[in-house]
Amino acid sequence: VLTSAESDRLRVVLVSSRNPLNIGAAARAMANFGFHHLRVVHPYDVAFREARSAVDAESVLQAAEEFDQVTEAVADCALVVGTTAGTRRTRQQQLHRLEAAATIIQQHLQSGSKVALLFGSEKIGLSNQDLSHCQLLLRIPTQTEHPSMNLGQAVAIVLYELVRQPGEGAAAPPVPQIPLENQPEKPLATAEERERLTILLLEVLALSGYARHPSPEEKVRGLMRHLPLTQSDVHHWLGLLRHILWKLKAVPPPLSD
Amino acid sequence: VLTSAESDRLRVVLVSSRNPLNIGAAARAMANFGFHHLRVVHPYDVAFREARSAVDAESVLQAAEEFDQVTEAVADCALVVGTTAGTRRTRQQQLHRLEAAATIIQQHLQSGSKVALLFGSEKIGLSNQDLSHCQLLLRIPTQTEHPSMNLGQAVAIVLYELVRQPGEGAAAPPVPQIPLENQPEKPLATAEERERLTILLLEVLALSGYARHPSPEEKVRGLMRHLPLTQSDVHHWLGLLRHILWKLKAVPPPLSD
C-alpha cells in the first residue's frame, strides 16, 4: 500500500487528449485514489480546466501542468511507463499486464523515484515517438476483440490497481522482493538526465556521419531505454562522450567528392 | 480467472441512471472485459441505446434489458451485490472492499450461479430500497475525502477486478533477473561480448585523448559492469562505436608544439 508521500511521486501524463471530458474524468479518478499531479501535453482543447466531468477534482485540474513536449513532461521522472492496448506490436520494451507493471511502479515510488504514467489520445493512443520515451509498457487485460478503452476508465483502472490491497484479494499473494536494479543505493537517472545523454550521443553520431539508419534517434533511444542507468552513471558517460565530441569537432569536413 | 461461461452469468444492473453517456461507458467497459448482460432499471433517458460513448459496445447496448423494478431485474440471480461509496451507513449487510467482494462474486459465478451487480444513479447512488435487495455490499477503496466515483469508471474498475489475474500481480511476476531488463526473451551478452565492446570503447577513448583518468580501463569496466546488456544490444553498440572510431581515425595527428 502506498503512503501519501509515495502516491505524491506519481505523475499522470495525458498526451494529445481530444476530449476535455476525458481529462476531467482522469482528474476525478486521481482525486478518488489520492493522486495529485496531472500533466497535459498539447491537448486539443485547451479549455480542459472547465471540464464538467471533473466533479470533485477541481484542485487536480487547476494544478495541472501543460507541456508542449513529452520530453519535458517526463523530465524529472526516473521511470516512464506507457499504456497501450497492446495491438500495436513493439519489440522495444517489455510489455507487462497491469497487474505486474503496478508492482514495478509501486517499488519505484516506494524507493523515492518519481514515475510518469503516460496515456495517449482517445483515438490513436501513444505514438511511436511517445513510446520511445517509455522504459516499460503496460496493458490493461482487455478482451482481444475489444482492446480499446475509454481514457477516463483506463486511468481509473490503473490508479485503482496501484492502491488496491493484495492482502484483501483472493490469493493474498505476498509481495516479492524484486531487485529493481543493481545498485539500489544509488538513485536512478531521471528522464531529463537520460535525455541529456541521448542528445549528446546523437550529436557524436551525427558528427561521425552515422546516417545509414533511417531514424537514428529512435534507434538510440531504443538502446538507451532499458539500461538502468544511475545518476552517477550518466555523469560519467557524459564526461566520456564530451571527450569524444571535442575530438570529433577537430575533424576536417569531408572532401566534396 | 473466469471462463467465458462464468463471465456470462454476470448481470450488470444500472439503477436510475441519469446520463446516457454513462450507460454507454458502462457498456463499453463490459465489452472490454468480456461481460455481455446489461440491465437497466428506469433510466432517466430512455434513448440510452444511442449513447455515443459506447464505442465498440453496440452489441451490449442493443441487447440491454429494461426493467421497471429492481426486484425484476435481479429475479434470476442467486447473489445480488450492491455498490456503494460507503458513506451511507448500513448495518443490514456485510460491506466488503472490492478486492474481497470480487472473490465472493467469482466463487458464485464459478459455482454456476447468476450474480447481479447493482450500480446506483450518479447523483445519489443506490437508495435504501435498492440496497434492500442486496445480500452483499462492496465499496471501491476510494479516498475518504473523495469517495464518489463516476459511474462508468466505477463499473470499469469492478469488472477489471473480476478479470484480473492474482497470479500475474505481485506474486508471480514474469520476473526478469534484472527487472528493468526489457527484453527478457533476448539472451544477455556473454562476458566475451562485453569485453569486445569494452575494448572498442577504450580504443575510441584513446583516440579522443582521454587520458586524464589514471586508469581509464578500470573506469570504463566499472561503468559497463552493471548494465544488463543483451547480445543484440552489444551488436548495435559495436556498430555505433565503429562509426565513431572510423571517423576519429580521420583526425589529423596533433601538431607537435
Q: Which H, E and C letters describe A44-87, residue by residue?
A: CCHHHHHCCCCCCCHHHHHCCEEECCHHHHCCCCCEEEEECCCC
Cα→Cα distances A141→A99, A164, B1, B165, Å: 9, 16, 12, 9
How far apart CA B171 and CA A102 sit, in angstroms, is 12
CB contact under 8 A, B172 and A173: yes
How far apart CA A131 and CA A146 sit, in angstroms, is 22
Segment (H or E) for A151: helix A151-163
- Identify the burial level of B58 via C-beta atoms within 10 angstroms of its C-beta, where 0-12 means exposed, 13-18 middle and 19 or more buried: middle
CB proximity B139 to A under 8 Å: no
- Look up residue B91 and give its three cell numbers: 448495518
3-class secondary-structure state, position A42: coil
What contacts 24+ positions apart, CB below 8 Å, involve B191-194? B193/B229, B193/B231, B193/B234, B194/B224, B194/B229, B194/B234
CB contact under 8 A, A150 and B210: no
| Mean pLDDT value across residues B102-116 | 92
Residue with cell 455515443: B52
Residue length of chain B: 257
How far apart CA B16 and CA A80 sit, in angstroms, is 41
* B174: pLDDT strictly greater than 70: no
pLDDT-based confidence at residue B169 (cuts at 50, 70, 90): very low
| Residue B233 confidence (pLDDT) | 85
Of B156, B137, B74, the closest CA to residue A25 belongs to B156
pLDDT-based confidence at residue B155 (cuts at 50, 70, 90): very high
| Residue B89 confidence (pLDDT) | 56
| Mean pLDDT value across residues B135-163 | 94
Global pTM value? 0.78
Q: What is the DSSP string of B16-73?
A: S---HHHHHHHHHHHHHHT--EEEEES-S-GGGGG-TT-TT-HHHHHT-EEES-HHHH
How far apart CA B187 and CA B175 sit, in angstroms, is 15
Of residues B93 and B75, more confidently modeled = B75
Of residues B181 and B226, more confidently modeled = B226
Residues B31-57: pLDDT tens digits?
999 999 999 999 887 778 877 667 778
Extract the runs of DSSP E, i.e. beta strands, from chain B: 10-15, 37-41, 65-67, 79-83, 94-97, 115-119, 136-139
Distance, first Cα to last Cα, chain A: 65
| Residue A226 confidence (pLDDT) | 73
| Mean pLDDT value across residues B113-138 | 90
Write down the ipTM of this complex: 0.77
CB proximity A189 to B under 8 Å: no
Q: Mark the ranges of chain A whose per-residue pLDDT is less than 70.
A: 52-53, 87-92, 167-185, 211-213, 251-257
| Residue B166 confidence (pLDDT) | 77
3-class secondary-structure state, position A7: helix
Q: Tell me the chain B residues in contact with residue A250 when contact means C-beta distances shorter than 8 Å.
A: 251-252
Find residues 193-222 of chain A whose CB sits inside 8 Å of chain B: 201, 204-205, 207-210, 219-220
> What chain B residue is nearest to A103 in terms of C-alpha separation?
B170
| Residue A170 confidence (pLDDT) | 40
Q: Tell me the chain B residues in contact with residue A157 when contact means C-beta distances shorter than 8 Å.
A: 156-157, 160
CB contact under 8 A, A149 and B28: yes
CB contact under 8 A, A229 and B229: no
DSSP lists the bridge partners of residue B67 as B41
| Residue B235 confidence (pLDDT) | 86
3-class secondary-structure state, position B80: strand
* B88: pLDDT strictly greater than 90: no
CB proximity A233 to B under 8 Å: yes
- Identify the burial level of A131 via C-beta atoms within 10 angstroms of its C-beta, where 0-12 means exposed, 13-18 middle and 19 or more buried: buried
Q: Tell me the chain A residues in contact with residue B200 when contact means C-beta distances shorter than 8 Å.
A: none
Residues B228-246: pLDDT tens digits?
787 888 888 888 888 888 8
3-class secondary-structure state, position B163: helix
| Residue A233 confidence (pLDDT) | 86
What percent of chain B clears pLDDT 70, i.e. is strictly above it? 82
CB contact under 8 A, A243 and B157: no
Which DSSP state fits B255? P
Of A143, A10, A40, the closest CA to residue A86 belongs to A143
Residue with cell 454476470: B10
CB proximity A52 to B under 8 Å: no
Residue with cell 476510494: B142
- Look up residue B69 and give its three cell numbers: 423494478
Q: In what order do the strands lie in the sheet with A10-15?
A: A65-67, A37-41, A10-15, A115-119, A79-83, A136-139, A94-97
Find residues 77-136 of chain B whose CB sits inside 8 Å of chain A: 97-100, 102-103, 106
* B179: pLDDT strictly greater than 50: no
Nearest to B32 among A28, A32, A146 (CB): A146
Q: What's the gap between Cα B200 and its chain centre?
A: 43
Residue B243 sits at φ, ψ, to 5 deg, of: -60, -50
Of residues B123 and A92, more confidently modeled = B123
* B181: pLDDT strictly greater than 50: no
How far apart CA A118 and CA B175 sit, in angstroms, is 23
Q: Tell me the chain A residues in contact with residue B161 when contact means C-beta distances shorter than 8 Å.
A: 160, 164
How far apart CA B99 and CA A168 sit, in angstroms, is 6
Give the dihedral sign, CA B78/B159/A3/A226.
positive
Residue B43 identity: P
- Look up residue A222 and give its three cell numbers: 531504443
Residues A131-158: pLDDT tens digits?
888 989 999 999 988 998 999 999 999 9
Q: Contact at 8 Å (CB) between B37 and B11?
A: yes
Residue A115 sits at φ, ψ, to 5 deg, of: -125, 130
Residues B183-196: pLDDT tens digits?
445 667 776 787 88
